[in-house]
């Protein structure tokens, strides 16, 4: 393996969180950050401290807890932003301030309503201010791929002189192509006289589906930091999918000649966690982490794989932590078997957590003959939801009558946190509608259901159903998730999860993380 490293910079919690429809609580961001730490990313962009009090708190919490990875806050070229970024990360073991400003004419003139000289001054002053707090400063010329090359070289030279230790060439609007981008990275090395004093980073968006290819082209041309998000989350069509970049580097050492510090066996789990927490599903044919990524449908392929795996598999699914499904648990399995299987999947539980999970596992095993790895991952996600969201109301009982000649009718019993239990019933246009109306009669909080989705965790008639919903109240969105072998029960659990977030203080989100200058 090559000694030369490419640093992996994860921005799932900042650019990823800018995806329309995603908004994470501090607790959820911390949980993703802990998993990114296990994955071994070098740098975590934990947020944009000046954008909202919630973002500030998330960056600060992550900076205080995680000791190994470098923790970054984004900042515009504003004094207040740079100061807030430092305030949020100053307790980190390894802090970095990331300053950015538009560098293309189209953005400088129309968005900033400024001029290139003024922008150059602001960039230098902001990097100097960041440097006065923190040795480690990253500077991003936003829209660098549509920036006049000579202006870009001059800007990079100036910010490196001002103290920037990383310069991040951003393809903000996903405009460039692999050969063109690689050439731009090569020319930067040729034309910026002090470039050896900074690491070249790249940050590619996916508007033309080119973000991973562009990032990889840049690595071949000499970039030594690459930015992206898990599952390719991010603004509009997203950022480069980190898991794809990492596995390309792993799989083709002959082409890249570099390595990363990533524990690839944590990739699948990280992808699942991010999808679960954000409520953004992973498309089945997505490279590396999609449900079909290692599934062979053709008989010819299956036959060849059985003879020799590498005939049709360029990566070992186990190397990305894909659950093997070889060992299936059932209702006769004991606590030790469950613990050992969970450990193999990367979950190390304390004794009381194992007890609680074992109870849930037994309930599931009673309904399903075989409990697969995918079921266990889903079970662990449900456990986390229960712990993370305050139980202002708990679902005790749900029962539904429906059919093609019946008016769907639901009865629910909820227990509130003071122990009072209430039963009510309602009719609806369908069984889920009836359940939600019955719950509404008890909880009595106006809200609008804006999204409802059911996914099957595994195949088969007894598959666990994972329900994800979004509800809105007063311009705030609340995500709810629930799993069960019965999708009506899973729907009820998802609604309770969303309502408890709504009722618990500060668990919703509005989209206030716009980083425009």
Q: Which does 182 bind (CB under 5 to 8 A by kind): ligand KIV, Zn ion, none?
A: none
Stretch 346-375 residues interacting with ligand KIV (CB under 6 A) = none
Query: Are the C-beta atoms of residues 312 and 296 closer than 8 Å to each other?
Result: yes
Q: Which of 22, 26, 170, 195 binds ligand KIV (CB under 6 A)?
A: 170
Residue 402 found at the interface with ligand KIV (CB under 6 A): no
Cβ proximity to ligand KIV: between 81 and 484 the closer is 81
Residue placing its CB nearer to ligand KIV in the complex, 143 or 244: 143
Place of tokens 């990383």: 166
Q: Which does 515 bind (CB under 5 to 8 A by kind): ligand KIV, Zn ion, none?
A: ligand KIV
Pick the piece of the chain touching ligand KIV (CB under 6 A) from 166-174, 216-224, 356-364, 465-473.
Answer: 166-174
CB 508 within 8 A of CB 479: no
CB of 369 to ligand KIV, least distance (A): 48
Tell the smallest beta-carbon distance from residue 198 to ligand KIV (Å).
15
Nearest residue (CB) to ligand KIV, 75 versus 479: 75
Total residues interacting with ligand KIV, rule: CB under 6 A: 11
The least distance separating ligand KIV from the CB of residue 470, rounded to whole angstroms, comes to 25
DSSP letter for each residue of 254-275: HHH--B----GGGHHHHHHHHH
Instruction: Tell me how far, at minimum, the Cβ of 203 lies from Zn ion, in Å.
Output: 6
User: Of Zn ion, ligand KIV, none, which one does residue 96 interact with (CB within 5 to 8 Å by kind)?
Assistant: none
Burial class from Cβ neighbours inside 10 Å (0-12, 13-18, 19+) for residue 505 reads exposed
Q: What is the DSSP string of 162-197?
A: HT-SEEEEEETTS---HHHHHHHHHHHHHH-TTGGG
CA distance 166 to 70: 13
* Residue 205 beta carbon to ligand KIV: minimum distance, rounded to whole angstroms: 6
Residues 114-153 that bind ligand KIV (CB under 6 A): 140, 142
Residues 201-220 that bind ligand KIV (CB under 6 A): 203, 205
> CB under 5 to 8 A by kind: which of Zn ion, ligand KIV, none does 478 bind?
none
Least CB distance from residue 251 to Zn ion, whole Å? 26
277 binds, among Zn ion, ligand KIV, none (CB under 5 to 8 A by kind): none
Site residues (CB under 6 A) for ligand KIV, limited to 44-103: 74, 100
Cα 241-242-246 angle, rounded to 5 deg: 125
Which of the stretches 165-173, 182-190, 316-324, 345-353 binds ligand KIV when contact is defined by CB under 6 A? 165-173
**Minimum distance between the CB of residue 136 and ligand KIV, rounded to whole angstroms?**
16
With beta carbons less than 8 A apart as the criterion, state whether 305 and 312 touch: yes
341 lines the binding site for ligand KIV (CB under 6 A):
no
The residue range among 164-172, 242-250, 422-430, 449-457 that interacts with ligand KIV, by the rule CB under 6 A, is: 164-172
> Please, are residues 70 and 95 in contact by the beta-carbon 8 Å criterion?
yes
| Cα 459 to chain centroid, rounded | 25
> Which CB sits closer to Zn ion, 404 or 516?
516
Of 10 and 15, nearer to Zn ion (C-beta) is 15
Which of ligand KIV, Zn ion, none sits in contact with 100, Cβ below 5 to 8 A by type?
A: ligand KIV
Provide the 3-class DSSP secondary structure of residue 450. Answer: strand
Q: CB–CB of 89/59 below 8 Å?
A: yes
Using the minimum distance from each CB to ligand KIV, give the nearer residue, 61 or 172: 172
DSSP string, 201-212: EEEEB-TTS-HH
Residue 348 CB, shortest distance to Zn ion, in Å, is 34
Q: Give min distance, CB of 101 to ligand KIV, in A.
A: 9
> Which CB, 56 or 100, lies closer to Zn ion?
100
C-alpha distance from residue 37 to each of 32, 41, 142, 325 (Å): 9, 6, 27, 26
- Interior angle at CA 131, CA 29 and CA 70, nearest 5: 30
| Cα dihedral 107, 113, 118, 124 sign | negative
CA–CA distance, 214 with 361 (Å, rounded to integer): 44
Among 15, 17, 250, 466, binds ligand KIV (CB under 6 A): 15
Torsion from C-alpha of 334, 336, 342, 343, nearest 10 degrees: -170
172 is an interface residue for ligand KIV by CB under 6 A? yes
What is the Cα–Cα distance from 365 to 332, expressed in whole angstroms?
Answer: 9
Residue with token string 């059932």: 330
Residue 140 touches which member of ligand KIV, Zn ion, none, C-beta under 5-8 Å by kind? ligand KIV
The three-class DSSP label of residue 436 is: helix
Token pair belonging to 239: 């950022």
Nearer to ligand KIV, 168 or 264 (CB): 168
> What are the distances in angstroms from CA 216 to CA 219, 227, 421?
5, 11, 57
- Interface residue list for Zn ion (CB under 5 A): 15
Closest listed residue to residue 76, CA positions, set 23, 15, 140, 19 = 140
Looking at the Cβ atoms of 152 and 170, the one nearer to ligand KIV is 170
Distance of CA 444 to the CA centre of its chain: 33
Residue in the block written with tokens 């003071």: 418
The residues of the shown chain that bind ligand KIV, judged by CB under 6 A, are 15, 74, 100, 140, 142, 168, 170, 172, 203, 205, 515
């Amino acid at each position: 393996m090559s000694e030369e490293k490419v640093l992996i910079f994860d921005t799932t919690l900042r650019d990823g969180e800018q995806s329309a429809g995603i908004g994470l609580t501090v607790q959820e961001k911390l949980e993703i950050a802990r998993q990114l730490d296990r994955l071994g990313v070098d740098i975590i962009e934990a947020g944009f401290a000046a954008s909202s009090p919630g973002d500030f708190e998330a960056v600060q919490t992550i900076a205080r807890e995680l000791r190994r990875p470098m923790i970054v806050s984004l900042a515009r070229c504003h004094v207040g932003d740079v100061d807030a970024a430092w305030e949020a990360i100053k307790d980190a073991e390894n802090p970095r301030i990331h300053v950015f400003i538009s560098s293309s004419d189209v953005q400088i003139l129309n968005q900033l309503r400024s001029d290139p000289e003024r922008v150059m001054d602001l960039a230098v002053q902001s990097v100097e201010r960041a440097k006065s707090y923190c040795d480690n400063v990253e500077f991003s010329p936003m829209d660098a791929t549509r920036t006049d090359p000579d202006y870009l070289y001059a800007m990079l030279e100036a910010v490196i002189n001002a103290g920037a230790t990383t310069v991040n060439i951003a393809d903000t609007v996903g405009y460039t192509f692999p050969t063109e981008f690689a050439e731009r990275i090569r020319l930067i090395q040729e034309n910026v006289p002090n470039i050896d004093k900074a690491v070249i980073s790249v940050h590619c968006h996916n508007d033309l589906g080119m973000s991973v290819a562009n990032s990889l082209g840049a690595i071949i041309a000499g970039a030594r930091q690459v930015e992206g998000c898990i599952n390719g989350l991010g603004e509009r069509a997203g950022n480069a999918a980190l898991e794809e970049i990492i596995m390309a580097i792993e799989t083709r050492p002959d082409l890249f000649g570099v390595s990363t510090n990533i524990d690839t066996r944590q990739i699948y789990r990280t992808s699942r966690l991010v999808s679960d927490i954000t409520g953004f599903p992973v498309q089945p044919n997505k490279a590396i982490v999609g449900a079909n990524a290692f599934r062979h449908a053709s008989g010819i392929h299956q036959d060849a794989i059985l003879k020799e795996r590498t005939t049709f598999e360029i990566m070992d699914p186990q190397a990305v932590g894909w659950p093997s499904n070889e060992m299936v648990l059932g209702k006769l399995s004991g606590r030790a078997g469950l613990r050992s299987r969970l450990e193999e999947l990367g979950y190390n539980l304390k004794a009381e957590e194992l007890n609680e999970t074992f109870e849930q596992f037994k309930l599931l095993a009673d309904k399903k003959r075989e409990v697969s790895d995918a079921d266990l991952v889903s079970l662990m996600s449900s456990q986390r939801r229960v712990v993370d969201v305050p139980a202002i109301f708990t679902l005790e009982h749900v029962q539904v009558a429906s059919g093609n000649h019946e008016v769907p009718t639901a009865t629910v019993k909820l227990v509130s946190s003071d122990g009072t239990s209430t039963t009510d019933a309602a009719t609806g246009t369908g069984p889920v509608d009836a359940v939600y109306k019955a719950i509404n009669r008890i909880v009595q909080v106006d809200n609008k259901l804006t999204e409802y989705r059911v996914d099957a965790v595994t195949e088969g008639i007894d598959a666990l159903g994972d329900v994800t919903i979004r509800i809105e109240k007063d311009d705030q969105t609340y995500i709810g998730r629930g799993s069960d072998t019965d999708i009506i029960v899973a729907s009820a659990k998802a609604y309770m999860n969303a309502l408890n977030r709504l009722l618990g203080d500060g668990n919703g989100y509005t989209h206030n993380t716009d980083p425009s200058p």
